[in-house]
């Protein structure tokens, strides 16, 4: 009995020893932040993430900090207000020391770079750090921006009338420079209640560094903040397409073409890639499991393609329901099927993960786990609280995916074994033990019964 009680005491210890470990993931994507201290960031999902996730609701797509701890993150459609792209992002800038020969021209400098080409320190070639205060020439670091830049906007101390003219130059490596704008004027003038303000400079996208070289002897601008304005047209996400090859099948006496998707895309459009002069009336169905019933998604619609001097083809068909992430798709035709299966094109707009800058950077996005589940957080309310502090036009800053690296690989997609329910086993053991004690007590009474 004493040994049995000791075994019961060890059960909680054994259960704790078999507690599940942190969920493994198949892949990891390091994240590059467009700006520091932005508070919240948005990441546009790519095709590789959709083909890695193990769940239709993308519950295993999460963001981890440098110590592998999850941060507050949530999934949004591209049209939802919380996930809309930021129009303006604060970027770092550096004053440049003047050349000893020409006070209006910047001297040659060397830079100390951090991660992803971001400048952390600038020094003049002759030694010494660039002045920390306002400088006539200055450098703007756009290395953290991968979206199409439209202009730079400046904020300076207001009150003093000023007018300054600059030549704007761009570079990819701080060595070779090209002229972006021959002449840009930044001005602030006030007469009575009237105010003239020009605080922006148009630039061209694709440059990592922008340099402003003064063209006159005006005092240096007391710049407090520099923002890059992103091109709203280029930020609009276009529809991406996943192309599937089909095979001929016959189910319940009806012929058709079957397809299998390689990812959990939020499919909203369907189209067919058919040969020239081909025409047919089609119906599209889908399901997420081989034993599930088929659901009508689109059609019947007439798909055609006509070549010639003015080629034309049928438009893509929107799905009749919400976006679908089903694995299996089927095409049926009211007429005779062609010899070769048409290519099924499924269109979708990538979704967005919004996360808060918690924990220790750098951050990474992970996906592909049979046991992981992203924690539920009230992200719209959290972003709204940040917007109250930073302005009504504020949106989460962009964060960009770096090339993926493998973690647990396909092993993370295998469901873990069902854990043993030690409480149930303990209760059954106690019941069996009690029944055995009652039976032993009854047997002892029968043996000790006196003879008649």
Query: Which pLDDT value is given to residue 52?
Result: 96
Can you give the CATH number for the domain in which 208 is found? 2.60.120
| Domain boundary residue, one of 201, 235, 269 | 235
Q: Which residues of 179-197 are buried (b: 16+ CB within 10 A; e: fewer)?
A: ebbeebebebeeeeeeeee
Position 151 in a domain? yes
Are residue 183 and residue 115 in the same domain, yes or no?
A: yes
Residues 104 and 168 in one domain: yes
Instruction: Look at residue 441 and tell me if it is in a domain.
Output: no
Please compute the mean of the pLDDT values over residues 106-135 and round it to a whole number: 59
User: How much is the pTM?
Assistant: 0.79
**pLDDT surpassing 70 at residue 180:** yes
* Residue 423 domain-assigned (yes or no): no
Mean pLDDT confidence for 242-254: 89
Mean pLDDT across the stretch 418-425? 62
pLDDT bin (cut points 50, 70, 90) of residue 411 is confident
Average pLDDT (226-245) is 87
Q: Is residue 399 part of a domain?
A: no
pLDDT value, residue 18: 43
407 or 441, which is more confident: 407
Q: Is residue 327 part of a domain?
A: yes
Q: Do 98 and 230 share a structural domain?
A: yes
Residue-level pLDDT at 114: 64
Answer yes or no: do 178 and 276 share one domain.
Answer: no
In a domain, 436, yes or no: no
Question: Any bridge partners for residue 278, and if so which?
Answer: 305
| pLDDT-derived band at 448, boundaries 50, 70, 90 | low
pLDDT value for 436: 76
Contact 104, 98 (CB under 8 A): yes
| 269 in the same domain as 202 | no
Say yes or no to pLDDT of 259 above 90.
yes
- Is 160 within the bounds of a domain? yes
The pLDDT value recorded for residue 32 is 94
Query: Do 340 and 201 belong to one domain?
Result: no
238 pLDDT band, cuts 50/70/90, is: confident
pLDDT value of position 9: 41
Do residues 231 and 247 both lie within one domain? no
- Let me know whether 216 and 93 are in one domain: yes
Confidence check: pLDDT of 276 > 50: yes
Express each pLDDT in 298-334 by its tens digit.
Answer: 988 888 777 766 667 788 899 988 899 999 999 998 8
Q: With bands split at pLDDT 50, 70 and 90, how would you rate the model's confidence at 410?
A: confident
- Give me the sign of the Cα torsion angle 278, 281, 287, 291: negative
Q: What is the pLDDT of residue 20?
A: 45
How many Å apart are CA 290 and CA 357, to the nearest integer? 41
Domain end among 207, 235, 263: 235
Average pLDDT score over residue span 419-439: 71
On whether residue 256 sits in a domain, the answer given is yes
Q: Are residues 138 and 231 in the same domain?
A: yes
The 3-class SS string of the chain reads CHHHHHHHHHHHHHHHHCCCCCCCCCEEEEEEECCCCCCEEEEECCHHHHHHCCCCCCCCCEEECCCCCECCEEEECCCCHHHCCCCEEEECEEEECECCCCCCCECCEEEEECHHHCEEEEEECCCCECCCCCCCEEEEECCCCCCCEEEEEEEECCCCCEEEEEEEEEECCCCCEEEEEEEEEEEEEEECCEEEEECEEECCCCCCEEEEEECCCCCCCCEEEEEEEECHHHHCCCCEEEEECCEEEEECCEEEEEEECCCCCCEEEEEEECCCCEEEEEEEEEECCCCCCCEEEEEEEEEEEECCCCCEECCCEECCCCCECCCEEEEEECCCCCCCCCEEEEEECCCEEEEECCCCCCCEEEECCCCCCCCCCCHHHHHHHHHHHHCCCCCCEEEEECCCEECCHHHHHCCCCCCCCHHHHHHHHHHHHHHHHHHHHHHHHHHCCCCC
pLDDT for the residue numbered 298? 92
User: What pLDDT shows up at residue 1?
Assistant: 41
Contacts of 128-131 with C-beta under 8 Å, sequence gap 24+, read 128/97, 130/94, 130/95, 130/96, 130/97, 131/95, 131/97
Dig out the tokens for 83 from the structure: 């996930």
Q: Based on the fold, state whether residues 203 and 260 are members of the same structural domain.
A: no
- Give the pLDDT band (50/70/90) at residue 13: very low
Higher pLDDT, 88 or 99: 88
Q: Identify the pLDDT of residue 190.
A: 79
Residue 252 sits in the same domain as residue 341: yes
Domain boundary among 313, 348, 383: 348
Dig out the tokens for 32 from the structure. 């590059």
Boundaries of domain holding 175: 88-235
Residue 349 predicted with pLDDT over 90: yes
- CATH (domain of 328): 2.60.120.260
Task: Judge residue 363's burial from the number of C-beta atoms within 10 Å of its C-beta, 0-12 exposed, 13-18 middle, 19 or more buried.
Answer: buried
| 229 plus 108 within the same structural domain | yes
Residue 243: pLDDT band (50, 70, 90) is: very high
Look at the chain and report how many structural domains it folds into. Answer: 2
């Amino acid at each position: 009995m004493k040994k049995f009680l000791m075994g019961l005491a060890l059960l909680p210890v054994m259960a704790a020893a078999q507690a599940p470990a942190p969920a493994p993931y198949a892949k990891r994507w390091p994240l590059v932040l467009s700006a520091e201290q932005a508070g919240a960031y948005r990441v546009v999902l790519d095709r590789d993430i959709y083909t890695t996730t193990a769940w239709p609701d993308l519950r295993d797509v999460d963001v981890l900090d440098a110590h592998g701890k999850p941060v507050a993150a949530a999934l949004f459609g591209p049209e939802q207000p919380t996930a809309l792209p930021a129009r303006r992002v604060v970027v770092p800038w550096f004053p440049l020391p003047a050349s000893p020969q020409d006070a209006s021209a910047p001297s040659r400098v060397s830079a100390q770079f951090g991660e992803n080409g971001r400048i952390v320190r600038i020094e003049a070639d002759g030694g010494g750090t660039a002045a920390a205060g306002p400088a006539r020439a200055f450098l703007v670091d756009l290395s953290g921006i991968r979206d199409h830049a439209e202009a730079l906007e400046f904020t300076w101390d207001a009150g003093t009338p000023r007018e300054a003219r600059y030549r704007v130059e761009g570079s990819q490596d701080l060595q070779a420079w090209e002229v972006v704008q021959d002449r840009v004027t930044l001005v602030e003038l006030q007469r009575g209640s009237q105010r003239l303000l020009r605080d922006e400079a148009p630039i061209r996208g694709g440059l990592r560094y922008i340099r402003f070289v003064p063209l006159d002897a005006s005092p240096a601008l007391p710049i407090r903040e520099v923002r890059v304005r992103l091109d709203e047209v280029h930020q609009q996400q276009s529809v991406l397409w996943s192309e599937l090859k089909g095979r001929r099948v016959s189910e319940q006496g009806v012929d058709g073409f079957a397809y299998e998707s390689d990812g959990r895309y939020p499919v909203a459009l369907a189209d067919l890639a058919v040969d020239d002069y081909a025409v047919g009336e089609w119906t599209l169905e889908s399901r997420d499991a081989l034993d599930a019933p088929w659901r009508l998604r689109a059609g019947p619609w007439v798909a055609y393609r006509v070549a010639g001097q003015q080629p034309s083809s049928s438009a893509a068909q929107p799905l009749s329901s919400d976006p679908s992430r089903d694995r299996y798709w089927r095409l049926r035709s009211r007429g005779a099927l062609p010899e070769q299966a048409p290519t099924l094109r499924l269109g979708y707009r990538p979704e967005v993960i919004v996360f808060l800058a918690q924990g220790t950077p750098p951050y990474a996005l992970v996906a592909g786990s049979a046991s992981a589940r992203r924690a539920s957080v009230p992200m719209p309310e959290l972003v709204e609280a940040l917007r109250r502090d930073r302005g009504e036009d504020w949106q989460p800053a962009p964060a960009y995916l770096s090339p993926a690296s493998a973690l647990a690989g396909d092993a993370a997609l295998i469901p873990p074994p069902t854990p043993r329910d030690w409480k149930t086993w303990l209760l059954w053991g106690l019941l069996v033990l009690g029944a055995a004690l009652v039976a032993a007590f009854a047997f002892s009474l029968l043996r000790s019964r006196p003879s008649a």
